[in-house]
Each structure stands twice: as C-alpha cells, then as structure tokens.
Structure 1
Amino acid sequence: MSATWREVPPPPVPPIPPLGWLRVLWRGAALGTVTFGCLGILLLVRLVERPLFGLDRPWTPYITQFVCRSAFVILRLPHRTRGRPMLERGAAVANHASWLDIFALNAPKRIYFVSKAEVARWPAIGWLARATGTLFINRDRREAAAQKRLFEERLKAGHRLMFFPEGTSTDGRRVLPFKSTLFAAFFEHGLKETMHIQPVTLVYRAPEGADPRFYGWWGDMNFGTHLLQVLAAPRQGSVEVIYHPPLRVADFPDRKALALACEQAVRAGLDEALAREAGAVAEADSARG
C-alpha cells in the first residue's frame, strides 16, 4: 500500500440539505448514465480495436474524452486550460489533489494514466481505469525492473502517459516532493533522445464560501462522502489545467534532475495561481470595506 498524505486534517463534512439531495440524485443519475453507458460502448469498440491494433487505441480514447468533458457539464463545474498540450512523444506529470484529476486531465487531452496497482481492485473506479488503458504498477522495488519494461513498452507504442510523481493526493494547496523512480524509464534503451516530459499544474478553486480544500481528497477521506459533497454543491468553484513547456529528457543528466525540474515547474504554477487567488480575495474585501 502506498503512503497516504495526512499532514493536514480534512475539513469537517457539512450535512447535505434537502435541495442538495435533489442535486445528488439528478447529477448522479446523469453522470452514472453517461459514464457507464459509454463504458459499455467502449468495451464493444475495444473488441474490434484490440485485435486490429493491439496496444494502439485509435478510437476508444475519444469515448473516454467525451465522458470526462460531459462530467464537467453535468456537475456545472467550469473547466479551463492554459498553455498547450504537447505534441511530442513522451509523458506528462501533474500534482495530485482529487479523484477529479482523472476527469480534469483527460478532458482536454487523450492520455493514459499510470496508477498504483490497488486502484485496479476498487469498485467502479477500477473498472473504468482498466477499460481506458490505465497502466498499473506496484510500488515495490522487487518489481521495479518488470514495471520499467512495461512502462517503456507503452512509450514505444506512442502512448502519452500521465503520472503523479508525488505518489499520493493532497489537499490541492501544495505540491509534495516528486519521487524520481518512474522517470528512470526515460533514460533507458534509446528513449532519452526522443522523449519529452510536460509538467502540468492542476488548480482547484472552491465554491464561494466553502473551505479552500473543498475538492481535495486525501488521507482517510471516504470517496462516497466526498463524491456526494461535490454532487450536492449548489454552486461549484472551478478547475484549471496549466500546461507548462515540455522538457526534453536529453537535456537532463539523470532521473533526479528531471524529476526536480518538473516539480519546480508544477509548484511554480500552483504558487502563482494561489497568489492570484489571494490577491483577488483581498481586492474584493477592500472594495466591500
């Protein structure tokens, strides 16, 4: 089991009012219908796609992207992007704040996630992850060599992978040190000269009046409870995906230097966004005063 970030206690969970439960019902029904209805379509398409194309998936990622974009429409949660998703071969890395990260990162760009192995066994989420081509890894040094080969195989197949080097989710208000283990694969078997890594910053802004960590999901927080809170929200906040310039792997001497450069880019993006947010709040308070 991976370590879980617990340094800050989660906010108390407020009771859901009657109108909130109505929003839970209709939003939950709509989200479930779109998600699992499209999952059924995806699995049918994959029956044809897999024998014809193997690891390559020319059609099904579009279905995944449709589901993720639809989720933000159903939740009425504004989703914005800044910067440009890279066109070069390689992977992207991002800070990890919530189960919503999967939707936020898949909506603007067709990618394949790298996830800890236990996610494959989770009800609902695990099924979706397997169907959409997620690469599962055990954080066990005894399996490191085999996992690195699998990682390389997906990169050579042209998959744009996405992983969370922090190794756990946080409250969305900070970036933890990046673990460099998975970066090692980019320095093997000639990949270094052709691969790029794009740092990506996820910024969640809470609904007005809510705890700033509203969308964060970490520690021992219950997924079902957190999902209900998001579904019940009368007004949502927003999520922003910031794409930083891609980094050429060959420009770095080793995995640790590359991981550090990615971490610094992601942290700078979050710090800048939070500073702008604090400035806007201070300006609004001053205007009211």
Structure 2
Amino acid sequence: MEHLTTGALIALYVSLRYRRDGRPEWLPTVTSWWHARLCAALGIEISVRGRLEPGCLLVANHISWLDIPIIGGQGEIGFLSKAEVRTWPLIGWMAEIAGTLFIARGGNQTLNIASRIAGLLASGRTLVIFPEGTTTDGSEVLRFHPRLFGIAQDAGPRIQPVAIGYHQGSDPRPETRAAYIGEDTLVASLWRILRHPNLVADIQLLEPIQADANESRRALAERTHAAILGALDPVRGERKQTPEETPNTCIEEMDLEPRPAFIP
C-alpha cells in the first residue's frame, strides 16, 4: 500500500508539473524505479538473462499486464499500449505521464503511430511492442502482426527480441496464474498473484536483429518470432497445473480465448 501511495503522489506531482513545465527529464528514471518497486511489492522475483542493447526496438511475447512492470523496471523504457490501459487506476495514470503511446483498437492509426515510434527511437528512447496483439497463457507464442516491423526497416533501429515467461519457485514449468487472458479483470489478476507468492518472471534479452532492406515486414516478423520461440523453455507447453477455482478471482476464465491486450 505504501508503494502504491508513493506512485500516486509521484503521478500527481508530475501531472501538475507537466501541465506547466513539460515532462521532466528525470521522469523515465523514476518510472523505471516505480516499476521495479511494484514488482517487489507484489513479491515477484525477476530473473534476467542478457542485457538491453541501446537504440533497439524491443519486441516481446505477451502474457500478462505484469510484462510491463517487469520489463519497465530494467531501464528507461517506453511502451505501446491499448487505449483501455489509460483508464486503469494508478497504472494507467503513470503510463500516460511516462509518455506511453496509446492505441484505440480498430483505429486506422498505423502510419501515425509508426511515425511517433520512429521519432521516439530517433531521440534515443527505447520502446517495447507486443506484436501478438493479445495475451496468451505462456504455453505458445502467437503469430506476430508484421505492420509495425516496417519501422525497423524505415527508421533503421535494430530489433532486440525479448522472451518472457513465468514459473513458480524452482519449478521451471510455465505458471498460468500470471496470465491475463479471457474475461479476466485487473483486480482478479492482481488478487490471484498476491494469493500465490514465489512467482518468478523470466526475461531473456536476446541478440539484436538487424533488418535487411530487401526483407519483407512479414519475413522480419517471422525471424523475430522464431528467435523468441527458440529461447523459451521447451517444456512451456506442459502446464504445471490448472488453477483451482476460487471465489471472485475469475480463474474459471483462464482457459478461454486470449484477451485483446496492449496493442491492436
């Protein structure tokens, strides 16, 4: 609770100052700190392999809303997010103040968003996209939508694939309780995570991929997808368990279709 209160006060201060003086230079550092502290407050252990490479567009598979703070806590990183996140208590407020790019699902915004992303990358910022366009339970990586991969060809940044997975304690098999899918709600997901400690988030920062000028966006998307798929644990398809049904947790929804997530 203390950590959430601190985040709310930071968000309020920055919001008021931003209207008057513009976004402060220290904001990305503070946002990264807040992401890291949020994960710590939730009792999530983060295991990182590899290192962030400067000047890259990060491309990650997508399992949960937790993907944002676990990656965001690794450095000064921005995100492309669905418009719905802006309405989430505190998290949405912090995301907006930190300069997250929001996309309304179904909107014809590809060119505008691509231009804004290219501008951010050119200014030296690091940005993450989730090209599956939805979340999964972690047992698979869906096909990557190729549209935004054109940025890496047009603007010139390298792509750094990021493989994300979750497991419980020392058991390496995928943990589905971290997933945010189906008709799950943020509150139900948060409560489920708090009730089951020892969650470990695995982040693999893979070798960057340089886009080939003669390569199609689809081919680049498939190459990135293959890198992430190859990095994930071979046992990811073996579910550790089916979460037991408990009141008011929406766990019964966990095996439904993946939910629309943080990019269209």
Normalised-by-shorter TM-score class: 0.7 to 0.9
Q: What is the 5 A alignment of 1:169-248? A: 169-188=135-154, 191-192=155-156, 195-206=157-168, 212-233=175-196, 235-248=197-210
Q: Which residue number corresponds to residue 34 of structure 1? A: 6
Deviations 1:83-139 (A, max 9, x none): 11112x231011111111111101112111011223223343321210111011234
Could you tell me which runs of 5 or more consecutive residues in structure 2 were left unpaired when the two chains were aligned. 241-264
CA distance in 2, matches of 1:86, 1:42: 28
| Residues 206 and 237, structure 1, Cα contact 8 Å, conserved in 2 | yes
Q: Which residue number corresponds to residue 60 of structure 1? A: 27
Alpha-carbon shift at residue 47 of structure 1 (Å): 5.8
Q: Which residue number corresponds to residue 92 of structure 1? A: 58
CA distance in 2, matches of 1:76, 1:145: 40
CA distance in 2, matches of 1:180, 1:250: 14
What percentage of aligned pairs have identical amino acids? 29
* Residue 75 of structure 2 is aligned to residue 103 of structure 1: no
CA distance in 2, matches of 1:208, 1:160: 32
CA distance in 2, matches of 1:268, 1:237: 23
| Residues 206 and 214, structure 1, Cα contact 8 Å, conserved in 2 | no
Q: Please state whether the residue corresponding to 2:176 is helix, strand or coil.
A: coil
Alpha-carbon shift at residue 181 of structure 1 (Å): 1.0
Q: Please state whether the residue corresponding to 2:32 is helix, strand or coil.
A: helix
Instruction: For 2:227, give the aligned amino acid.
Output: A
Q: Structure 2 vs 1, CA of residues 244 and 30 (structure 1 numbering), >3 Å: closer, same or farther?
A: same
Q: Which residue number corresponds to residue 7 of structure 1? A: none
Instruction: For 1:203, give the aligned amino acid.
Output: G
CA RMSD of superposed structures (Å): 2.8
CA distance in 1, matches of 2:39, 2:89: 22
CA distance in 1, matches of 2:208, 2:239: 26
Which structure carries more helix by proportion? 1
| Residues 114 and 135, structure 1, Cα contact 8 Å, conserved in 2 | yes
CA distance in 1, matches of 2:139, 2:21: 40
TM-score, length basis structure 2: 0.80
CA distance in 1, matches of 2:238, 2:13: 42
Q: How many residues align?
A: 239
Could you tell me which runs of 5 or more consecutive residues in structure 1 were left unpaired when the two chains were aligned. 1-28, 52-56, 279-289
Q: Structure 2 vs 1, CA of residues 170 and 49 (structure 1 numbering), >3 Å: closer, same or farther?
A: farther
Q: Structure 2 vs 1, CA of residues 273 and 110 (structure 1 numbering), >3 Å: closer, same or farther?
A: farther
| Residues 206 and 215, structure 1, Cα contact 8 Å, conserved in 2 | no
2:223 to 257, 261, 281: 261
Of the two, which has the highest radius of gyration? 1
Alpha-carbon shift at residue 219 of structure 1 (Å): 1.2
Alpha-carbon shift at residue 156 of structure 1 (Å): 2.2
CA distance in 2, matches of 1:147, 1:162: 13
Q: Please state whether the residue corresponding to 1:142 is helix, strand or coil.
A: coil
